[in-house]
Structure 1
Amino acid sequence: MSAEVTTCAETPPIDAAALVESWAESLELAVVWDRDGRILSCNNAFARKFGAREEWVGRPFGEKVHPDDSLDWRNGITRIDMRPWHVSREHRWQTVQGWRWIAWEETGLRNADGEVWAVRSIGRDVTKRRLGEEHFSKLAKAIDQSPTAVVLSTPQGQVQYVNPRYTEISGLTLEEIFEKEIEVLGRGFDDPGAYRDVLEQVRRGGSWSGEVCSWGRDEKELWEFVQITPIRNHADEVVQFLCLREDITQRKTLELQLRQAQKMESLGTLAGGIAHDFNNIIAIVKGYTEFCLGRTEDASLQRYLTEIHKASHRAVGLVRQILTFSRKAEVSTRPVDINALLNELGRLFSETFPRTIEFQFDLQKDLPSLMADPNQLQQVIMNLCVNARDAMGEGGRLRLSSKRVRGSQILDQQNIDPKRDYVCITIADNGHGMPPDVRARIFEPFFTTKMKKGGTGLGLSVVYGIVVNHQGALTVDSTPGKGTTFRAFFPIIETKKAGSSDAEGTSQPVPRGTEHLLIVEDEESLRELLSTAMTELGYTVETAEHGLAAAERLLNGGGRDLDAILLDLNLPGMNGIEVLRSVRRIRPSMPVIIISGNVGREQRDQLNQLGVGDVIVKPYSLADIGQRLRSVLERR
């Protein structure tokens, strides 16, 4: 019947209602409208969707089209005049149920002359399908643009779909995955048995999640958090696996840095405590050696004592390195021209390193001076260059470079302020490199791979302590067989141009004196050493073994008979700062010299507030104490 209507009659029908009569009880919408767009007839389904039939005869057919679709609707009418006189289109229409998507199949009805005189439209409500398509389209876009890698597979692990994010982080192309039948779900599982157990667990309807490590783009280590869940059909059977893989490499790197920093902090605290005890021991050895050297004329004995004295000096250097690593050594900062320092040390190394090592410099011009301890900065560069030399036994290239970087560019490092600028010092070699297990431990004190060459294992740990103590950051990249690159970042503090250091004073003979001294020292051997040395220089000496004894002595008579105090800071019962406060209350003008193994920044500030600037660091020289004491007494 409809085929007969679609084929145009040779003469125009007289009754338009007859054209939709066969569709009267159909569930599909049927309407006939003339070339002016006015409805000639419609069926019951149309009336149920849009209103009573009688109301619609003579009204414009397109008046219920959504305003956003009206232009497209009008453009479609012109196509009915062209072969095959048939148009299919979908638009939103205002119905009694609200806005609905209606799909129309429209046929032009022609007269004997071939002119279209009316149009018959058969419509279907396709709202559900359109919403489903829109929902599917949104879901497909969300998965395709998801920041999380999405994988669909069979229960046997065969890949059916991966989104672009997965190919981006894995470095695999779709062609590789499907042509080589790569089991994507198994990437990161070192144990095949564990992977099979995971598949079996999900096949039984369970879920699995965990962290795995594999190799991503450019062969870089890739850490992922993986979740695998089952997808069921209408019969509640597991037919697919959904695998979500989130790249957590940056988080794992930060976790590793945090654990390393915590470990180094603990080791630093331990090393600082050990160094303090060593300082006392070395001070005893060094002091009594100096004492004996001045009291014997036996050439052999003097030679032996000299060797002991040299060994004590080496021990002093070792303890200072430990204190530097533990960040308990006082930092004396001043402006430093980093490029000048790199050039100077580079020339030194080029003369002393093997000729098979080629030096390359890449120094950014006009870098501002750094506020840093020049000796410690020099120690950083020297240690890193010596390590590079040792890694290139048969020769190679050693590159020293400097450049200015924004803190926001290196936020993946700890202690970095994004609002500050940093100078990056790079020491790179093309030596044998380091495997990951060695690289993970290089900053630990006493860890070394050069035991047979006399390595102490303190070089890089001291470098780490210096950089962190300067509020900077230290990174290392190393690949076995390709070399190692160290980068040290130091914050820039705009300063005046770096100047030369003050000239050091010349050594003077130990002066004598007759004043009355109080020596406050808890280490018995050191107390006895100082007492004996000062007594032989002519001073009258009293001693106190702890802070409470010193305070009691000061209270007894107000300390008016005392001329100066040699005071240790680390005392039992009552520490040196508290003793000093008691001195200032009782004798405000009393000269005090601090003798301590370590004076931190906070303690230094407290000493300045209490008017004490004379500090001698253990292990000391007896001559230095004698000269400093005389200077203080004469200033009084």
Structure 2
Amino acid sequence: MLDALVRSSSEVRYRISADWSRLYQLSGGDFLADTTSADSDWVETYIPREDRAALRAEIERAIRTRTTYSLEHRVHLADGSVGWASSRAVPVLDEHGRITEWYGAATDITERKQAEAATRDLTVSLGRQVADRTAELRLYGDIIQSSAAPICAFDTEYRLIAFNQAHSDEFYRIFGRRVQIGEVFPDLFPPDQAPVMRGFMTRALAGETYTVTEEFGDPDLAKPAWEVSYSPLRDADGRVIGAFHFAKDISDRLRAETELASTQEALRQAQKMEAVGQLTGGLAHDFNNLLAGISGSLELMQTRLAQGRFKDVERYMATAQGAAKRAAALTHRLLAFSRRQTLDPRPTDVTRLVRDMQDMIQRTVGPGITFEVVGGDDAWPALVDPSQLENALLNLCINARDAMPDGGCITVETANEAMDARTARRHDVPEGEYVRLSVTDTGTGMAPEVIARVFEPFFTTKPIGEGTGLGLSMIYGFAQQSGGQVRIASAVGEGTTVSIYLPRHDGAVPGEDDAGAAPPLPRSAQGETVLVVDDEPTVRMLVTDILEDLGYTAIEAGDSAAGLRVLQSDVRIDLLVTDVGLPGGMNGRQMAEAARETRPDLKVLLITGYAETAILGGDKLGPGMAVLTKPFAIETMAARIRSIIEAGRERERRP
């Protein structure tokens, strides 16, 4: 120990104990130092250079404040090595507040510091001594402190440097052994798991903080699932000196989630089957009504013709055609719901379309409903399929009528909507300009849980057999396929507003067609031959009769193999009209492409009851190929055939 320091005059005489005399090889007795300054000669003599500044600063503080100084610092030992001392001294003041004496002691803490250094070398694998105790405090404060979660830390050589009791207990429970400080952590795992764990630890040692889910344990037993978090352990200078490993057993949670997912999947399957049942019932009801109208009209036509009573035939024909068109509209609703219908977008004056339908809608909803069109005189045109928009508008008005069993008012409004980025995100559409078509009723409205499901497949609030639940689904699919969106606002007892947003068309809109007789159907030039390939005899017969009435020579084939034989012969073929779904080893498009190997200029019209996207599979049709969806009007098919042939001739005439 360093004995009391006694002041005499301007000097301080250090009285040295025998232990310190032997340690520093002093001659015994005392040595002198100036207590009025921190620049004491003993600091220069006995303190290593790197600790002098800190010691002087502490002595100056004690002299300035007249308080005790205390500091751990290194000292030069007699054998030439460096040791550690803990110095403390208390000042004695006179009546004027001046320091007259210092009483203190210095304790040799070299062994303790050496032990700490050895421990630190093991725990942090540093090649240098840490300037302060930040890493130690983090290590022992975050890990060794009591925690129910398994926590440990390892150094840059993957050696365990600390772990809590929970980690030790869990490791023993899973692997049947206790972990020890200094063991290489990843090597403690089974051979099939050790590389995985080492990979996780390597990422943390590279400075990454992350969480993973992993199963580990005895390979012969059930492996519990763990959510393991890693974060780097850094020293005071920010260097990575190891990493933390924090584990949480989530086996029960994963089992619960798996059971929940299984239950939800079973529920979805049940809902799906219920929806299919609803769809089947609704479609059967609708199609039976339509088939009754068609077959009944045809039977009455046959009876009247046999009786020679021709006056009613035209009326029955109109009835059958109307039922057939409604059946076609129903299939279009199915395709629109699946977003696979073939659209024909054209520049459309939406306001004009609404006003043109006003009388028809009023007759449809009945006299108990007031129908009005407001605004929209300055509404932009939209790029949309007008026939599908008419169908959507009619569906919305019928839904509005059904929501007002005691009567009410339906208001249709068209308006312009310029959506900035924020508004577009809210409506789930690209930023830009849109035309809004809104249908508002004063009916019963809908509860939030109903609004959340109105666009779902087959969802309907109508009794089974009275609706397919495809109306709003069709509108939703049609709007999205057109590049727009549909939104609904409703409250119970306050009515409903459904708004369709359609992209603006920046250009002119063709005027209304001149009234008058329908133009004559385009006829064939002399000698033009069309090959018709379809596996349905009635369709093949009808198409052939249409072609022959228009002056074409028609050749029939019932499958792709027979059609390809004709195409590979030397028979003149000006156009191939083929169904897409064909027996015979290839579909209609494949047959056409095979035929183009020997007839590269072959013109093709694909007819199908499916959607164009189902035919193309995301591809575009090549030159001289077009699609016509069933059912089609005679004039539509005649015009399409003529346009394809003429377009082909025009290409052939080009140099």
| TM superposition score normalised by structure 1 | 0.51
TM-fit CA distance, 1:108 = 2.0
| 1:521/1:567 contact within 8 Å kept | yes
Do residues 305 (structure 1) and 317 (structure 2) align? yes
For residues 320 and 35 of structure 1, do their structure 2 counterparts lie closer, same or farther at Cα, with a shift above 3 Å needed? same
Change (3 A) 1:464 1:65: farther
Corresponding residue to 1:500 among 509, 518, 524? 509
Q: 1:17 aligns with which of 11, 14, 19?
A: 14
| Deviation for aligned residue 1:115 | 0.9
Structure 1 Cα separation of the partners of residues 62 and 410 of structure 2: 78
Query: Corresponding residue for 1:35?
Result: 36
Instruction: Give the 3 Å change call, closer, same or farther, for CA 19–485 of structure 1 in structure 2.
Output: farther
Partner of 2:335 in structure 1? 323
SS at match of 2:461: coil
Shift in alpha-carbon separation, 1:605–1:9, aligned structure 2, 3 A: closer
| 1:625 counterpart (592, 614, 637) | 637
Instruction: Give the C-alpha shift of residue 36 in structure 1.
Output: 1.4
> What pairs with 1:389-428 in structure 2 (closer than 5 Å)?
402=417, 404-406=419-421, 421=431
Residues 119/498 of structure 1: CA separation in 2 closer, same or farther (3 Å cut): farther
| Cα offset, 1:313, TM superposition | 0.9
**Alignment partners' CA distance in 1, 2:471 and 2:464:** 16
Q: 1:356 to 1:299 in 2, by over 3 A?
A: closer
What residue is the counterpart of 2:176 in the other structure? none
- What are the equivalent positions in structure 2 for 1:134-173 lying under 5 Å apart? 134-135=138-139
Which residue identity is paired with 2:323? A
- What is the rounded CA distance, in whole Å, between the counterparts of 1:136 and 1:478 in structure 2? 60
Q: 2:52 and 2:475 mapped to 1: Cα distance?
A: 73
2:67 equivalent among 86, 96, 110: 86
The one of 464, 468, 471 equivalent to 1:456 is: 468
Q: Deviations over 1:276-313 (max 9, x none)?
A: xx9xx99x969x96997998863444433322221111
SS at match of 1:86: coil
1:545 aligned partner:
558
Once residues 635 and 410 of structure 2 are traced to their aligned partners in structure 1, the CA distance between those partners, rounded to angstroms, is 47
SS at 2:624 equivalent = coil
Read off the aligned partner of 1:531 and give its amino acid letter.
Answer: T
Structure 1: give runs of 5+ residues left out of the alignment: 41-55, 144-205, 211-226, 231-242
With over 3 angstroms needed to count, the CA separation of the structure-2 counterparts of 1:359 and 1:14, relative to structure 1, is farther
Please give the alpha-carbon distance, in whole angstroms, between the structure 2 residues aligned to 1:533 and 1:99: 111
Contact 1:88 1:106 in 2 (8 A): yes
% identical aligned pairs: 23
**Larger CA deviation: 451-460 vs 546-555:** 451-460
Q: Any idea what the Cα deviations from partners look like across 1:594-621, whole Å, max 9, x if unmatched?
A: 43334625749988534245x4321012
- 2:238 is aligned to none
Whole-Å Cα distance in 1 between the matches of residues 469 and 82 of structure 2?
Answer: 78
Q: Quote how far apart the aligned CAs of 1:440 are.
A: 6.8
* Equivalent position to 1:466, from 478, 493, 496: 478
Q: For 1:567, give the aligned amino acid.
A: T
Distance in 2 (alpha carbons) for counterparts of 1:88 and 1:386: 93
Bigger mean CA deviation after superposition, 300-309 or 382-391: 382-391
Pairing 1:154-233 to 2, within 5 Å after superposition = none
Corresponding residue SS for 1:450 = coil
Matched to 1:86, the amino acid is: T
SS at match of 2:577: strand
Q: What secondary structure is seen at the aligned counterpart in 2 of 1:616?
A: strand
Residues 392-442 of structure 1 deviation map (CA, whole Å, 9 limit, x = unaligned): 9999999999453549995998xx9xxx7467999899953332xx66754
Structure of higher RCO (CA pairs closer than 8 Å, 6+ residues apart): 1
* Deviation, structure 1 residue 449: 1.8
Of 73-82 and 475-484, deviating more is: 475-484
- 411, 432, 435: which is aligned to 2:446? 432
- Which letter maps to 1:17? Y
Mapping of residues 212-611 of structure 1, within 5 Å: 298-333=310-345, 402=417, 404-406=419-421, 421=431, 431-435=445-449, 442-451=454-463, 454-466=466-478, 468-469=480-481, 497-501=506-510, 507-510=518-521, 517-535=530-548, 540-556=553-569, 558-560=570-572, 565-573=576-584, 574-581=586-593, 584=596, 593-598=605-610, 600=612, 603=616, 609-611=622-624
Letter in 2 for 1:497: D
Q: Supply the distance in 2 between the matched residues of 1:299 and 1:544 (Cα, whole angstroms).
A: 38
By how many angstroms is 1:35 displaced?
2.0
Query: Secondary structure of the residue that 1:570 maps to in structure 2?
Result: coil
The Cα shift of 1:549 comes to 1.5
Residues 407 and 422, structure 1, Cα contact 8 Å, conserved in 2: no
Check whether the contact 1:581–1:610 (CA below 8 A) recurs between aligned residues.
no
Offset at residue 523 of structure 1 (A): 0.6
**Matched residue of 1:549: which SS?**
helix
* CA distance 1:20–1:598, change in 2 (3 Å): same
Tell me, in whole angstroms, the C-alpha distance in 1 between the residues paired with 2:583 and 2:383. Answer: 36
What is the deviation of 1:521? 1.8
* Residues 88 and 106, structure 2, Cα contact 8 Å, conserved in 1: yes
Aligned partner of residue 451 in structure 1, secondary structure = coil
TM-fit CA distance, 1:37: 1.6
Deviation at 1:103, TM superposition (A): 7.9
Aligned-partner SS, 1:34 = coil
* CA drift at 1:571: 2.2
Q: Residues 119-168 of structure 1, C-alpha deviation per residue, up to 9 Å, x if partnerless?
A: 5566787998876545577789xx9xxxxxxxxxxxxxxxxxxxxxxxxx
Amino acid at match of 2:506: K
Q: Partners in 2 of 1:96 and 1:482 — Cα distance?
A: 92
Could you tell me the TM-score, scaled by structure 2's length?
A: 0.50
Distance between the aligned counterparts of 1:94 and 1:10, measured in 2?
A: 25
Distance 1:335 1:122, change over 3 A: farther
The structure-2 alpha-carbon separation of the partners of 1:598 and 1:471, relative to structure 1 and needing over 3 Å to count, comes to same
Residue in 2 that maps onto 1:107: 90
